Amino acid sequence: MNSRATVQKVKQSILTHSMINSGDKVLVAVSGGADSVCLLHILYLLAQEMHFTIDVIHLNHSLRAAAEEDQLFVEQMCYFYGLNFYCKKEDIRRLADETGKSLEEAGRAARYAFFKETMKKRGFSCVATAHNQNDNAETVLLNLLRGTGLDGLSGIPYTREDGIIRPLLHVTRAEIESYCTENDLNYRTDESNADNIFTRNRVRNELIPFLQRNFNPNIIDGLANLAENVSEDAEFLNSYARRLFERVNSPMPKCTPVMLHIDTLRMIQRSIQMRLVRLAMHKADKYCAEFGKNHLDSVLKLLEKPTGTGVDLPGDFRAEVRYGWLVFEKKEENVKKNADFLNKSEFCIEVEAEKSYNIEIIGKIFTFSVSDIGKAGKAEHITLLDYDVIKNRPICLRSRQHGDKLTVYEDGRRKTVKSLLIDKKIPREERNEFPLLCSGNEVLAIPDIRVGEPYRVRKNTKRVLVITSEKIESQ
């Protein structure tokens, strides 16, 4: 295939998969190898014709002795093309040691984090990477060897929701090398690609050539066709799962952590359950670690477990059952949430009627007023106390303390505030959001939860203290 045909093939892929629109700012990921050099040259040619602009991004992984030379090579290309060059140096070996990931996984995570950061900071529409048809074939084979499902057999997608695009995915490595030769494009060679200690390199250098010689000389095209056919079926199932997700996900706006309704999940076919779990994980963290069938199986077993049961997942995630919901969150988020609260000073605010109090530490506003019993409203976030019983007593709103108790029986017996919150199925990480109304050392009420027996409204109550709570929406 000549150069012109290769350019047209890339242009057609861009149009077919809606990768780039007129006016887009495209960030091209360039390592300096043949694939990315070819991609940059083609997008440079197409930019004026298709009315978009390009600049270049490069992550120096600090793994190879030639890494500095690679960076300089890409920088000089940008100078030649007149493009902005965004570069960052990262110690991937250190990151791999710190996170327990392989060098390949740590490098990938660092690259995509840098892409995301630069896209957001500089206002780019998308990032073009140089994955090609051979890469796709290798990915399908690797996934097949690992026992993948439909999503794994779909290979590398042309586009991703986070703005990653692959314009060369329909172009073979042979076509890329031919294009570079025809256009006198120099490129860097990564000697580690020949090192068969890495599984992907063994697939590329040994398995695929073996299959070409002994089974199918067009195995690259065959695997690409397989990926395309399977991806259509997988996309149908994923689309169905995305629609269902809105029904099983928590209906609360801006809800964190991500939660799925267990009773609804139980009524859904297992294959869709697995997709819903993946969607929940990616909603909790778009760049979460990949996890396999064994992890999905362990999560789905939670559907029959009691509240408090959970499993740890890759990427420092945890899935846990909480009062009819399957909850997904990064473990450090829950730890941080509790640590942030404990690290701040406890609060105790003396309150008066006809005033409002903004308690930022728990994200709520409390309003106090006095009303005749017949005029007092009743709603979910309104708490009523018999005002004539407490009118001459100083009252305050304070944070919970260990061992706090509320009188809940007529004979004076009490229950711990903690047990009352558990009875109301308040998740552990949300219990600090419920302050106590107190007078001296006595707890009068837990607004929104329960009023102490001596202060509750009775038939002979004439006036009530009305406490209205309102959650402060985070910006």
Q: pLDDT digit of tens for each residue in the chain (475 aa)?
A: 688 999 999 999 999 999 999 999 999 999 999 999 999 999 999 999 999 999 999 999 988 889 999 999 999 999 999 999 999 999 999 988 887 778 888 889 899 999 999 999 999 999 999 999 999 999 999 999 988 889 889 999 999 988 999 999 999 999 999 999 999 999 998 877 777 887 889 999 999 999 999 999 999 999 999 999 999 999 999 999 999 988 788 755 455 678 888 888 999 999 999 999 989 888 877 656 667 788 889 999 999 998 788 998 877 788 988 878 898 887 665 545 544 444 444 687 888 888 888 888 888 899 999 999 888 777 778 999 999 999 878 898 998 888 899 999 989 999 999 999 998 888 887 888 899 999 888 999 999 999 999 999 999 999 999 999 988 765 4
Residue given tokens 């250098």 in the structure block: 205
Q: Tell me how far apart the alpha carbons of residues 399 and 123 are, in angstroms, rounded to a whole number.
A: 43
Q: What is the pLDDT of residue 343?
A: 46
Two structure tokens written together for 282: 């990616």
Two structure tokens written together for 26: 């495209």
126-128 and 25-29 beta bridge pairing: parallel
Model pTM score: 0.67
Two structure tokens written together for 184: 């006198």
Q: Tell me how far apart the alpha carbons of residues 181 and 262 are, in angstroms, rounded to a whole number.
A: 58
CB atoms within 10 A of CB 200: 15
Q: Phi, psi (5° rounding) for residue 196?
A: -80, 15
Residue given tokens 């093939």 in the structure block: 9
Q: Phi, psi (5° rounding) for residue 433?
A: -80, 0
Q: What is the pLDDT of residue 199?
A: 86
